[in-house]
Amino acid sequence: GYHRLVKENRDLYNIVQDLKGNIRVYCRIRPVFNDEAGSIVDFIGQDDSLAISDPSKPQSEGRKIFNFNKVFGPTCSQNDIYADIQPLIRSVMDGYNVCIFAYGQTGSGKTHTMSCPSDGSSEEDMGISHLALNDLFRLSNMRKDDAEYEIQVQMVEIYNEQVRDLLKFEICSADGGSMSLSDATMHSVKSTADVIRLMKLGDDNRVISSSTALNDRSSRSHSILTVQVSGKEISGCTLQSCLHFVDLASSSERVENPEEAMYINKSLSCLGDVITALAQKNSHIPYRNSKLTLLLQDSLSPGGRTKTLMFAHINPERDSFAETISTLKFAQRVSTDELGGVRGNKECSEVMQLKEQVERLKEALGGNK
Ligand code: ADP
Ligand code: MG
């Protein structure tokens, strides 16, 4: 009885999450740093919109409002963000494949959101990949009477449409161009600390010339951290699912090398096409146009067992106006909001009903413990 209730509760929970939309677009505005000119972005208090002013126009004319599933203002902490996406992360343990993308120009906070500062400093600044790993390990431990889980990670980089395994501790083969995620090495991990150790090694393996600073290098390639969860429940059910953290190459008109710029723009626009096609429920999804979408195909497919979250990052300084507008336009293009999806805070009555049912089941479960 108890196990069945737990399972039903989880299923209902996932249905509620499904109805909230399997493709979500969030926006995060990073704080203005002291040495930069004032902010042109207004987090207008509602949690789903922001206003941006064109610094070259009078205040009254140049203001534009953008809506997303959610907007996180500059004072939002890593934990605030994680609290919102926790159900999405936990759905991986119920068999969903989840992709989380960080999009934005250089210095807008993509790596900050995804990862922890590379000096590994304070606990409170840990990004969502580390908070998620902590959570997955905690959850697999909590459920250990009902199921056995194995967690493995992969780390790959896509640079100029070449895929590299960052955790293959040998000389990378020259045919990286035809690699798929199933070819990348998998590393069994028992704790978040194991993953951090691997990620440090992975960062050292990044291919682009070591004469440039890490931030500069990472700006020009996509990096994908994949967490694979394999589970076997005592009921006999097995599951295998993936969680991908994708720190995208920076969207920027400022990339100097024209070849690099071409590859970056092409792959970002292909990703946009795929997400838009998914949101519009098109029968043809154009995965084959870029390595990124091809690699992530299994986690970006229609049919209910995949979820996608895109964080569009905004740098609020004046100088970034053009890039901010281009980031917002891209994010708006893939936003289900524009495409008629259900908005996070405007739930239909079906969701409300299911929520009530979840609450009732929770109560029933509480009485059973
Ligand atoms: P990107 O990966 O997009 O190039 P980073 O994540 O490296 O950008 O961020 C650039 C700098 O801004 C880093 O020093 C980072 O710590 C800081 N930063 C970014 N977002 C935030 C935030 N929300 N709060 C505080 N500092 C931030
Ligand atoms: Mg970065």
- The answer, yes or no, to whether any atom of ligand 1 lies below 6 A from the CB of 316, is no
Strand ranges in 54-109 using DSSP code E only, listed in sequence order: 63-67, 70-72, 97-104
Average pLDDT of the chain is 83
Q: How large is the average pLDDT for residues 205-209?
A: 60
Q: Which helix (H) or strand (E) holds 52?
A: strand 49-53
pLDDT in tens, 312-353: 999 999 889 999 999 999 999 988 654 444 444 444 556 666
The pLDDT score that the predictor gives to residue 253 is 65
Q: How many CB atoms lie within 10 A of CB 97?
A: 22
Token pair for residue 168?
A: 């293959």
- The answer, yes or no, to whether any atom of ligand 1 lies below 6 A from the CB of 110, is yes
Closest ligand to 80 CA? 1
Q: In terms of pLDDT, which residue wins out, 99 or 257? A: 99
Q: In terms of pLDDT, which residue wins out, 278 or 209? A: 278
DSSP lists the bridge partners of residue 245 as 100, 225
Q: How far is CA 258 from the centre of its chain?
A: 27
DSSP lists the bridge partners of residue 187 as 153
Can you give the pTM of this predicted structure?
Answer: 0.86
pLDDT in tens, 103-156: 999 999 999 999 865 555 566 688 999 999 999 999 999 988 889 999 999 999
Q: How large is the average pLDDT for residues 289-293?
A: 96
pLDDT in tens, 220-251: 899 999 999 999 988 888 999 999 999 999 98
Residue nearest to atom 19 of ligand 1 (CA): 109
Do 293 and 300 meet the contact criterion of CB atoms below 8 Å apart? yes
Do 332 and 69 meet the contact criterion of CB atoms below 8 Å apart? no
Q: Where are the alpha helices (DSSP H) in the chain?
A: 2-19, 78-90, 110-114, 128-142, 192-204, 214-219, 258-279, 291-295, 321-334, 349-368
Closest CA to 81 of 155, 347, 89, 306: 89
Q: Is 111 marked as binding a ligand?
A: yes
Q: Is 106 marked as binding a ligand?
A: yes
- The answer, yes or no, to whether any atom of ligand 1 lies below 6 A from the CB of 222, is no
**Residue appearing with tokens 């893939």:** 334
